[in-house]
Structure 1
Amino acid sequence: MRHFSATPREMLATLWRHRDLINASTKREVLGRYRGSSLGLLWSFFNPVFMLIIYTFVFSVVFKARWSGGGESKTEFALVLFSGLIVFNLFSECINRAPGLILSNVNYVKKVVFPLEILPFVAFLSALFHAAISLCVWLSAYVIFIGTPPITIFYLPLILIPFVMFIMGISWVLTSLGVYLRDAGQFVGILTAVLMFLSPVFYPITSLPESYRYLLYFNPLTLVIEQFRAVLYFGKAPYFSLLAVYWVATFFAAWLGFAWFQKTRKGFADVL
């Protein structure tokens, strides 16, 4: 039986070794989503624009919501809210797809020698493409209605890189579980719906009673959403001490997820 390495070095090396295949697969994934439509890739731009308009209307006009009870305009509230949604949507798209990745590519398991471990990363890059488009829409709206974005925007990689590692760790685990537990996809769908409302996407943490705020930080998305929003919109530097811990924790999360995938993949062909 073939041995699959599960070391941290192999986790990084396999992504580099198969970079051309990853690049080609990602392009096919992105273009395939809009194949046959009249507007094609333009839908990846219109979708976030449409959602930004909808959220602005619903929360600012219908619910007359304000982020901190201050005098922000409707547009400003929408930008704050949408910045949190960019992070959550990137996470949810990857996590919701993960349990079905092997099941939808059975031919790679049975007939072809294929590096199955790259499938979650291809799905992530596809989701990242749409997140990047959403971020471009957000920045355009910011420039039009407010002005030059804060210089703290350059801190974004420090926040997003460990978030990538966290997503990959979870994705590798769920991709494997999806083969053995066919109900995993249903459970994950419910979990992500719950996480949306348990994350500070539609409301600030300060809206909670102070004695309960710490509970929100048990949600792994809270730190990312708060820091992402702080550097992108509020012009605040991230909490470097928290980020340092987050970097270490997410690296181990990614490695453990990769190790789980490598150890369990031996049985994929038997189950499928």
Structure 2
Amino acid sequence: MPGLAMLRALWVYRGFVWSSVMREFHGKYRESLLGAFWSVANPLTMIIIYTVVFGQLMRPTLPGHEQMPFAFSIYLCAGVVTWNLFAEMLGRLNGVFLENGNLIKKSNFPRVCLPVIVTISALINFGIVFGFYLIFLMIIGHWPGWAILAFLPLLLLQLLFTLGLGIFLGTLNVFFRDVGQFTAVILQFWFWLTPIVYTLPALPEKFRRLIQYNPMQALISAYQDIFLAKAMPNLLSLLPLVGFTVIFLLLGSYFFLTRSGELVDEL
């Protein structure tokens, strides 16, 4: 089976994958005095700006949490931190084959290693920022308790969804270069069509129904349930995302495997 073959190839080339991740991480900050801090500076800045603008200046209310200190900051960070992982992965997967064209032409290795390298690198950056978020929750005394056990399955679902969609778009981008530009634009709209800096109940009813077709809406809402409400998420609401994940994994794998022989000619 193609899936098992790819997993076997990844295991055989695990040293190559890990050394590539470390080389990328160290190379990015080799000449920097602050080092890895820059990997979290941008998302932390975004969180601070959104918290000040939306949390302090606009003072939105969260139904059921009106009296809770830092409620909107918790809600906001749960969405922004996890969304940034999605956006970073999808943005990089979109151009992963084009950016590594010379390596693909000169070296003989399983091409599937490249999306995995992107995924692990994005997870490292995410882990640093997410660690700060957990420390923040502990400091303010709002640890989610047992509900945090649902976080890992949600993260795995997000990674698989992004990986399937990213491999499909990344392969397509080799043959149609406008795909990369189009995806960057769509990501900006997608962010604002996902309840991250606003709440779903704050929208008019007709817009609320439309946004519920957004596959990321249920996922972000599930993260917010865990960290704000300290509650287990509604797993049934994630079934459409599970369906999209299966579709894109199959579609991405099929398109990648059937077109992998043509990648070198197009790069």
What is the TM-score normalised by the length of structure 1? Answer: 0.88
Give the SS at the match of 1:102: helix
Contact kept, 8 Å, 1:45 with 1:137, in 2: the verdict is no
Is 1:62 the equivalent of 2:57?
yes
Question: More deviation in 91-100 or 80-89?
Answer: 91-100
Does the residue aligned with 1:270 lie in a helix, a strand or coil?
helix
Matched, 1:96 2:91: yes
Instruction: Give the conservation status (yes or no) of the 8 Å contact 1:8–1:255.
Output: no
Give me the whole-angstrom Cα distance separating, in 2, the residues matched to 1:69 and 1:232: 14
Identity value in percent? 31
Which SS does the other structure have where 2:112 is aligned? helix
Tell me the distance in 2 between the aligned counterparts of 1:44 and 1:93: 12
User: 1:250 aligns to what?
Assistant: 245
User: Which residue of structure 2 lines up, in the alignment, with residue 262 of structure 1?
Assistant: 257
Q: Match of 1:234?
A: 229
CA distance in 2: counterparts of 1:97 and 1:185, whole angstroms: 10
User: For the Cα contact (< 8 Å) 2:43–2:81, is it kept in 1?
Assistant: no
Unaligned runs of 5+ in 2: none
Of residues 198, 202, 205, the one that matches 2:193 is: 198
Given that residues 168 and 252 in structure 2 are in contact (C-alpha distance below 8 angstroms), is that contact kept between their aligned partners in structure 1? yes
Which amino acid in the other structure matches residue 235 of structure 1? Answer: K
**C-alpha distance in 2 between matches for 1:238 and 1:71:** 21
Q: From the superposition, tell whether residues 264 and 72 of structure 1 become closer, same or farther in structure 2 (CA, over 3 Å).
A: farther
- In 2, Cα distance between equivalents of 1:216 and 1:191: 15
Contact 1:25 1:122 (C-alpha < 8 Å) held by counterparts: yes
2:144/2:226 contact within 8 Å kept: no
Structure 1 residues 197 and 120: CA distance shift in structure 2, 3 A:
same
90-99 or 49-58: bigger deviation: 49-58
Aligned to 1:128: 123
In structure 1, what is the Cα distance between the partners aligned to 2:68 and 2:51? 10
* Residue 72 to residue 257, structure 1, CA distance change in 2 (3 Å): farther
Gaps of 5+ in 1: none
- 1:105-140 Cα distance to aligned partner (Å, 9 max, x none): 122222211221221221121111111112111111
Q: Which residue of 1 aligns with 2:33?
A: 38
SS for the counterpart of 1:87 is helix
**Partner of 1:234: helix, strand, or coil?**
coil
Q: 1: CA distance between counterparts of 2:91 and 2:253?
A: 18
CA distance in 2, matches of 1:217, 1:17: 42
Contact 1:227 1:238 in 2 (8 A): yes
Q: Name the CA distance, whole Å, in 2 between partners of 1:104 and 1:14.
A: 22
Q: Does 1:171 align with 2:166?
A: yes
User: How many residues are aligned here?
Assistant: 267
2:182 maps to 1:187 = yes
Is the contact made by 2:168 and 2:248 (CA closer than 8 Å) also made in structure 1?
no
Following superposition, the deviation at residue 73 of structure 1 comes to: 5.3
Any idea what SS the aligned residue of 1:199 has? coil
1:155 and 1:70, CA in 2 relative to 1: closer, same or farther beyond 3 A? closer
Instruction: Give the superposed CA RMSD.
Output: 2.2
8 Å CA contact retained: 2:150, 2:226: yes
**1:45 and 1:92, CA in 2 relative to 1: closer, same or farther beyond 3 A?**
closer
